Amino acid sequence: MRWATRRNVHIDRAACAWLIRRHIDPAAEFVFVDDPGDVPADATPFDMRGAELSHHGPDCSFETILRRYELTDPVLWKIAEIVHEADVDDERYDAPEARGLDVILRGLSMTCDDDRVLELAGPLFDGLHEYFRRAFTLGRPPA
Amino acid sequence: MIEWVLLAYRIPRTPSSPRIAVWRKLERLGVARLGDGLVALPADARTREQFDWIAEEIGEAGGTATIWVATAGGAAQEQAVAQAMRQARAEEYRAVIAQAEAAAGGGEGERRRTAKRLQAELRRIDRRDFFPPEEREAARRAVRALSRTAGAGTGGTTWGGHTTGDGDPAGGDHTAGRGGRGTDGERATAASAAGEETR
């Protein structure tokens, strides 16, 4: 399936792309557009104004996708808190990791194109997921 | 002159909660209020995106919103808007300084708690500080000093906002004191100072 989002991806779009590839559509292909009007007819838009898979109410797009696809894994919701704070920064959650992740993604988007950012964000979010999976299992931060 | 992003919006008076939520978000972003239902921020990827989401939220609350990218009709107008934004931030920095000074006489626990809280507050102000006033450095120093006496981290964390120091349009009216380009220099100085402390 093809998925479309805005060019110059940042935290929310990078996280959504990872989520889509790992949990919704392993064969996902991503296209980047400048304007919502440029989304190809066969592509599902996300994190764009007017799209269903976007910000809604207080939720960022990552949270919207979790709800829409009924992904209830608490580890994914923990990552959602970090993505939310890195993206929206409204202190809805206590997520001190957000600041660092925001800086890392901003830096990547300065040195890499969108395809490369998604490629690098893959192992980054895989690692975050594993870290919090272990944290949930242990009930404390894993060493 | 710089590019601005404008959000023109109308939102129903009732129910009031989405209206208040939008108002709070705009305050948090440090917008310039240009008129009834018209707010502006210096345009960058982040501010445009933030306006996009607020526009979406306004739409979901039964209102209407459009986003525009614009330049001011004249440099004087732009400077007036920038100056008002700078003053709003200066007031916030002064409040931080006053709280840091008030806490200095307290016990160690209070000093540490206040230092932590003010560091977070500085970060919030920094993110909406597009035209840094002189008070910014003083506020950072005040919080650093308080952190030091409380044995907490040194306020190096206040670094890294999304200020647009190099596009300071109101710099021109400050040639006597600090030129428009002064901002970058100040940040570089502050950066090396912060670096030395953490080394």
Q: Which tens digit of pLDDT belongs to each residue from A95-138?
A: 999 999 999 999 999 999 999 999 999 999 999 999 999 999 99
Considering chain B, tell me which residue range(s) the CATH 3.30.70.240 domain(s) occupy. 4-71
Residue A112 belongs to a domain: yes
| Identity at B3, one-letter amino acid code | E
Q: In terms of CA atoms, which chain A residue is nearest residue B26?
A: A90
For the beta carbon of residue A135, count every other beta carbon within 10 angstroms. 14
- ipTM confidence: 0.82
Contact B56 A8 (CB under 8 A): no
Residue at A46 is within a domain: yes
Taking each helix axis as running N to C, give the angle between helix A114-138 and helix A97-111, from 0 to 180 degrees, rounded to the nearest 10: 160
Contacting residues of B for A54, CB less than 8 Å apart: 56
Fold of domain B4-71: Alpha-Beta Plaits (3.30.70)
B86-118: string of b/e by CB count within 10 Å (b at 16+)? bebbbebbeebbebbeebbeeeeeebbebbbeb
Please state, rounded to an integer, the average pLDDT across all residues of chain B. Answer: 81
- List of residues 6+ apart from B18 with CB closer than 8 A: B11, B57, B58, B60, B61
Look at residue A143 and tell me if it is in a domain.
no
Contact between B56 and A88 using a beta-carbon 8 Å cutoff: no
Res B149: pLDDT: 86
Question: A55, B127: Cβ pair inside 8 Å?
Answer: no
Task: Give how many domains chain A has, as a whole number.
Answer: 1
- Enter the tokens of residue A74: 């608490």
Contact residues, chain B, for A58 at CB < 8 Å: 21
Q: How far apart are CA A66 and CA A77, in angstroms?
A: 8
**pLDDT range class, residue B156, cuts 50, 70, 90:** very low
Q: Nearest-CA residue of chain B relative to A60?
A: B53
Q: What is the tens place of the pLDDT at every residue in B33-87?
A: 999 999 999 999 889 999 999 999 999 999 999 999 999 999 999 999 999 999 9
